[in-house]
Amino acid sequence: MTILSISKLTKRYGRSPVLEGVDLALSPGERVALLGHNGAGKSTLMKLVLGLTRASAGRIEVAGHAPGSAVARALTAYLPENVAFHPSLSAREQIAHYLRLRGKNPRDAAPLLERVGLGDAMDRRIGTYSKGMRQRVGLAQALIGRPRLMVLDEPTSGLDPVSRREFYALLEELAASGSAILLSSHALSEVETKTDRIVILSRGRKVAEGTLDALRTEAALPLTVHLRPREGQGPALAAAFPEAQRRADLLTLTCPPAEKMALMARLSRANGALADFDLLPPSLDDIYAQISGRAA
């Protein structure tokens, strides 16, 4: 079953296309990262999925239902980058209010807030909260009703490193229970290992989609290699790798992916002069810059 199905999605304002011919599908339990520069069309795509605006052409379905319909709204949760709540209410009061609006038991507010790490602060006024704490209230709101599709726009904005780890652990738990997750983020180092698939938008078009390994292959960027010589063997190692650059006590060079095995053979032959080495694949930041730059 497909939770989110998008086909040839196009959105224009006047004659200017903001999205053009985008295809995308999410299955239960999938975590998909949506990447793109400001103005690439990420927010517009999310608004279309949520039914907040209408497409100029193409099709969107949430579990077979039109976005914005009563069924689609019941199945979908949304967490914006900047959440806004009444500052005079406590988190418990605010979430209880949203539970009533959804026809749920307001007593479920406490378990939801404990789940997002606000158990000790749920009775404080939201006006005293930090941005990260307000973001946790937003996440508790998004969890109401066990949504099948979660749409998250810069969800870790304002969270400290520990809170970010806890947030992604919660997303993993939700995905394991069958929720499909579509999130946008500029924190590429986070989504690198926390999502199953990555979609890159550029100027309203989908220019790449796949796993991190698939995108690495598509970008065809070289590997970075750091060599550490044995004591007193720096000159011998430099002679074995004349293309390397000397940085402090390290030698650094790059290697095309297709030549990795040949490099390993050279490292084996230089073993007497080599104390250690690191073979680093290109990061998601490097891949994104390469693919989006190529598309532009």
CATH architecture entry for 4-210: 3-Layer(aba) Sandwich (3.40)
Percent of the chain scored above 70 by pLDDT? 100
Position 81 confidence tier, pLDDT thresholds 50, 70, 90: confident
Q: What are phi and psi of 255, to 5 degrees?
A: -145, 125
With a cut of 80, say whether residue 158 has pLDDT above it: no
Does residue 160 surpass a pLDDT of 90?
no
The model carries a pTM of 0.85
Dump strand ranges (E) for 84-188: 149-153, 180-184
Q: How confident is the model at residue 205 (pLDDT cuts 50, 70, 90)?
A: very high
Q: How far from 35 is each of 38, 61, 71, 199, CA to CA, in Å? A: 10, 21, 28, 6
Average pLDDT of the residues of the chain: 91
Amino acid at 199: V
How many Å apart are CA 221 and CA 293, to the nearest integer? 13
- Position 296 confidence tier, pLDDT thresholds 50, 70, 90: low
| CA 194 centroid distance within chain | 7
CATH class of 221-283: alpha beta
d(C-alpha 4, C-alpha 212), whole Å: 21
What is d(CA 113, CA 137) in angstroms, rounded to the nearest whole number?
7
Q: Calculate ∠ Cα 128-131-135, nearest 5°.
A: 110
Per-residue pLDDT tens for 207-244? Answer: 999 999 899 989 989 999 999 999 999 999 999 999 99
254 pLDDT more than 90: yes
What residues does each domain of the chain span? 4-210, 221-283
Is pLDDT of 200 > 90? yes
**Tokens at 71, concatenated:** 């069924």
